[in-house]
């Protein structure tokens, strides 16, 4: 299957992408991984991306599209893939359509993870990270430490990242609504969108997604 995964920040896209890709035996292709791989390997596209990033500028669509095209041409993606974070806007979605058409294939589904905005804010703004070991992550509601502000594992101080503040989260949501959400209507016009609730346990959401994808495939 060839799937695009969309949803607001805090919807659990990365977690669901990993589970779904494993269940469907297709590679999980995330924008973050594409950038890290190209930059660390020193590819031409990676060098271009790095130059823009070092200058504090947004990486142009054509660079991101080039990275995605190269990754989707790899042998493990011949029979399908799950895209996470790409396309990020309608322009990228249109470019993806052209890419796939050139290869004689098409998308099977666009999985839209739906989460109420207040829940997104609650999920992200409630995160607390250990200063001593950032692998230790807690949540004031869903996974609170035994002692407020103290890491259960090492006793380090727990803090809220600047990116996780409510103000920043709401700004990220606004960017999502403005730039990325329009691709849902773009794909809905093609009859590709499958919307599921991303509320509940991780396994519940994965089961919900698998059933929706199989139903859509059928």
Q: Is 127 a residue of the active site?
A: yes
DSSP-assigned beta bridge partners for residue 82: 3, 28
Could you confirm whether 36 is annotated as catalytic? no
Q: Is 123 a catalytic residue?
A: no
* Catalytic option among 2, 123, 127, 128: 127
Residue 89, Cβ neighbours under 10 Å: how many? Answer: 18
Asked if 211 is an active-site residue, the reply is no
Distance CA 70, CA 83 (A): 13
* Cα(178)–Cα(174) distance, integer angstroms: 6
Which residue among 22, 101, 161, 214 is the active-site one?
161
Task: Out of 50, 69, 170, 172, pick the active-site residue.
Answer: 172
Catalytic residue among 2, 13, 122, 128: 13
Determine the Cα–Cα distance for residues 30 and 18; give it in Å rounded to an integer: 10
Determine whether 170 is an active site residue: no
> What would the 3-class secondary structure string for 175-214 be?
HHHHHHCHHHHHHHCCCCEEEEECCCCHHHHHHHHHHHHH
Active-site residue set: 13, 88, 127, 161, 172
């Amino acid at each position: 299957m060839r799937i695009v995964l969309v949803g607001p920040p805090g919807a659990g896209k990365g977690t669901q992408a990993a589970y779904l890709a494993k269940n469907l035996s297709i590679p999980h292709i995330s924008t973050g991984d594409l950038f890290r791989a190209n930059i660390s390997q020193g590819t031409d596209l990676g060098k271009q991306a790095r130059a823009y990033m070092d200058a504090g500028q947004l990486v142009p669509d054509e660079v991101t599209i080039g990275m995605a095209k190269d990754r989707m041409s790899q042998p493990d993606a011949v029979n399908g893939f799950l895209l996470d974070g790409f396309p990020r806007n309608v322009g990228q979605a249109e470019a993806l359509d052209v890419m796939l058409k050139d290869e004689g294939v098409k998308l099977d589904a666009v999985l839209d993870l739906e989460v109420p905005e207040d829940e997104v804010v609650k999920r992200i703004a409630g995160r607390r990270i250990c200063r001593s070991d950032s692998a230790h992550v807690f949540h004031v509601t869903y996974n609170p430490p035994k002692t407020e502000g103290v890491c259960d594992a090492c006793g380090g101080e727990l803090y809220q990242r600047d990116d996780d503040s409510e103000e920043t989260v709401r700004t990220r949501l606004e960017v999502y609504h403005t730039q990325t959400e329009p691709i849902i209507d773009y794909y809905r016009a093609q009859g590709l969108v499958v919307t599921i609730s991303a509320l509940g346990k991780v396994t519940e959401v994965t089961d919900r997604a698998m059933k929706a994808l199989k139903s859509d495939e059928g």
